[in-house]
Amino acid sequence: MSNQLVWQERYNLGVEIIDKEHKKLFSILNKLFDFGKQEEKSQWVCQEAIKYFRDHAIQHFADEEAYMLSVNYEGFEMHRRIHKNFRERTLPALERELELTNYSEEAVDHFLSVCAGWLIGHSLIEDYAIVKGEHIKQWVNLQAEEEQAVMGQTIIGLLHSMFQLDSRLISDCYSGEKFVDGIYFRFIYGTKDKKRWEFFLVFEEKLIVSTIGSVMDTKSEAVNTMLMNAARYVARQLLERIKRYFPASDQFELKEEQLLTYEQFQKVFEKQQPQFSLLFDTGKGYFAYCATATDDILQSEGGISILTENALTAVEKYLNQNEVEKKAANSKKKVLVVDDSDFMLKTLQDLLGNDYEVMVAKSGLSAIRGITLERPDLILLDYEMPVCDGSQVLEMIRAEGDFADIPIIFLTSRVDRESVKKVIELKPDGYLSKSLQPADVKREVDHFFEKAARRSAKK
């Protein structure tokens, strides 16, 4: 890996203790990048350098948390949780990978790219929010860390006892990003005190095939009607076990069970403020568990409702609908639209949806999560987003080796010479003015893919 992190003035937050340590962490990673280029490498030197980075990162977290407390930062608890997640989950997992591979070149590159991407993103989003006095409120209803940890371990234990899966929790802030091929279950419960509970269980299809499919000794490589009906009851049993950890769960009454396509799941989930939103890597595919509680009256919008008397036909209908959407999606190029405006997201979805599979994200972090789960063929990126603008998101994506070659076109409302010059200097694959007529935007996207196809044909 030949990358280097270039410190830029905009990384300075104006808080000496934070800026100083950010520069130090950049410097340590750059030394590791340099070390990675050397033909004669000492594993011991690499071990010590990585330990040095980890120790500095941990000290930086402590200093930063002390500063947040000193200024009574409203988002302290969530920010501290993000630090803890990186310190206790991400870094140990990366170090285990290094040890298991005897510090192979690929593992060292992976360590460096993840740490570099995390450091850039965290500096420009969460840390920047501190000095602006902003509180990132996406997860205001999340349960306390201790409860998150207990729930995570509970689910890991259940997945192991049911399927002998060695799972790991990779996020306690799953934002509903799309799985490559996902099956989306929604269970709606009511309680005697009129509270409404919703549980979402999301399985990557290959997880169902490799677990339930192997138990049933089916030779199918895809989820069929038989597997889906088995998966429904496995999901219900899994949820019943999880539900025992909720107070007065014996008073929960199942009101509705639904199967959702991803588009339906996305529309429902974006309205939720989850108490738990956990994403697991099981080693056989992704699994997500989300739980919300509201005082709203029961609404059954979206999805195919499963009742005892309609189960067979409903499941078959769902699989057929899923297959149609999947085939349509597989034949289409994937376009990720990143914009903080609901209006722009809806406009571009309507504009491009017939010819492309359109994914959406309302922030840089959501975009990175979405790219991780399903790689797009093109990103349309708002240049003027608050907190983390388009240039910062571009840098985060380019800093991650697996994503660096994804083409990015900026969306901008500024077309004056100076603004356009700033955009071009960032070397995106293009830029589009938001003032263009919809037909012109569509034409430009079509033209981009036509040019890409011609280049590919010449190779």
CATH of the domain at 78: 1.20.120.50
The more confidently predicted of residues 399 and 35 is 399
Residue 111 confidence (pLDDT) above 80 = no
258 and 185 Cβ atoms separated by less than 8 Å: yes
Note the pLDDT of residue 1. Answer: 38
Strand partners, 260: 184
Query: Minimum mean pLDDT among 115-119, 216-220, 353-357: which range?
Result: 216-220
Residues 242 and 157 in one domain: yes
In a domain, 1, yes or no: no
In a domain, 459, yes or no: no
The secondary structure of the chain, three-state, reads: CCCCCCCCHHHCCCCHHHHHHHHHHHHHHHHHHHHHHCCCCCHHHHHHHHHHHHHHHHHHHHHHHHHHHHCCCCCHHHHHHHHHHHHHHHHHHHHHHHHHCCCCHHHHHHHHHHHHHHHHHHHHCHHHHHHHCCCCCCCCCCCCHHHHHHHHHHHHHHHHHHHCCCCEEEECCCCCCCCCCEEEEEEEEECCCCCEEEEEEEEEHHHHHHHHHHHCCCCCCCCCHHHHHHHHHHHHHHHHHHHCCCCCHHHCEEEEEEEECHHHHHHHHCCCCCCEEEEEECCCCEEEEEEEEECCCCCCCCCEECCHHHHHHHHHHHHHHHHHHHHHHHCCEEEEEECCCHHHHHHHHHHHCCCEEEEEECCHHHHHHHHHHCCCCEEEEECCCCCCCHHHHHHHHHHCCCCCCCCEEEEECCCCHHHHHHHHHCCCCEEEECCCCHHHHHHHHHHHHHHHHHHHHHC
In a domain, 435, yes or no: yes
The more confidently predicted of residues 355 and 424 is 355
Q: Which two tokens stand for residue 76?
A: 């302290």
In a domain, 3, yes or no: no
Helices 438-458 and 342-352: crossing angle, nearest 10°?
60
CATH at 379: 3.40.50.2300
CA dihedral 165, 169, 172, 173 (to 10 degrees): -80
189 and 196 Cβ atoms separated by less than 8 Å: yes
Stretch 50-60: mean pLDDT, rounded? Answer: 83
Stretch 265-281: mean pLDDT, rounded? Answer: 85
415 and 435 Cβ atoms separated by less than 8 Å: yes
Residue 299 confidence (pLDDT) above 60 = no
- Average pLDDT, whole number, for the chain? 78
In a domain, 420, yes or no: yes
Residues 201 and 299 in one domain: yes
365 and 121 Cβ atoms separated by less than 8 Å: yes
In a domain, 137, yes or no: no
Nearest to 256 by CA among 306, 294, 293, 302: 306
Residues 21 and 164 in one domain: no
Which among 70, 101, 132 is the end of a domain?
132
Note the pLDDT of residue 402. Answer: 74
> Which structural domain range is residue 348 located in?
332-454
The more confidently predicted of residues 449 and 424 is 449
Note the pLDDT of residue 298. Answer: 47
**Tally of domains within the chain:** 3
Which among 132, 158, 192 is the end of a domain?
132
Residues 313 and 175 in one domain: yes
The more confidently predicted of residues 129 and 265 is 265
125 and 364 Cβ atoms separated by less than 8 Å: yes
Which among 325, 360, 377 is the end of a domain?
325
Residue 203 confidence (pLDDT) above 80 = yes
Nearest to 210 by CA among 236, 253, 181: 181
Residues 315 and 177 in one domain: yes
The more confidently predicted of residues 282 and 79 is 282
Helices 311-330 and 225-243: crossing angle, nearest 10°?
110
201 and 185 Cβ atoms separated by less than 8 Å: yes
> Which pLDDT band holds residue 114 (cuts at 50, 70, 90)?
low
316 and 225 Cβ atoms separated by less than 8 Å: yes
Residues 218 and 197 in one domain: yes
Residue 108 confidence (pLDDT) above 50 = yes
Nearest to 200 by CA among 227, 174, 171, 169: 174
Cα 371 from Cα 326, distance rounded (Å)? 18
CATH at 236: 3.40.1550.10
Interval 315-357: pLDDT, tens: 666 667 666 666 665 678 889 998 888 778 888 888 898 888 8
Query: What is the CA angle 184-188-191, rounded to 5?
Result: 160
Note the pLDDT of residue 46. Answer: 72
> Which pLDDT band holds residue 306 (cuts at 50, 70, 90)?
low
User: pTM to 2 decimals?
Assistant: 0.52
Residue 77 confidence (pLDDT) above 90 = no
Task: Count Cβ atoms below 10 Å from residue 268 Cβ, excluding itself.
Answer: 21
Query: Percentage of the chain with pLDDT > 70?
Result: 78
Residues 119 and 178 in one domain: no
Note the pLDDT of residue 225. Answer: 75
Give per-residue burial for 383-410: e unless 16+ CB within 10 Å, then b. Answer: bbbebbbbbbbbbbbbbbbebeebebbb
Note the pLDDT of residue 2. Answer: 43
> Which pLDDT band holds residue 43 (cuts at 50, 70, 90)?
low
Residues 196 and 313 in one domain: yes
Query: Minimum mean pLDDT among 250-259, 267-276, 277-286, 293-302: which range?
Result: 293-302
Pairing of strands 378-382, 333-338: parallel
Nearest to 226 by CA among 237, 212, 240, 239: 212
In a domain, 84, yes or no: yes
Residue 16 confidence (pLDDT) above 70 = yes
> Which pLDDT band holds residue 216 (cuts at 50, 70, 90)?
low
Residues 99 and 155 in one domain: no
Note the pLDDT of residue 36. Answer: 55
Residue 415 confidence (pLDDT) above 80 = no
Residues 275 and 343 in one domain: no
Q: 342 Cβ partners below 8 Å, 6+ apart?
A: 362
Residues 93 and 125 in one domain: yes
Query: Percentage of the chain with pLDDT > 90?
Result: 7
Note the pLDDT of residue 271. Answer: 78
Residues 319 and 354 in one domain: no
In a domain, 85, yes or no: yes
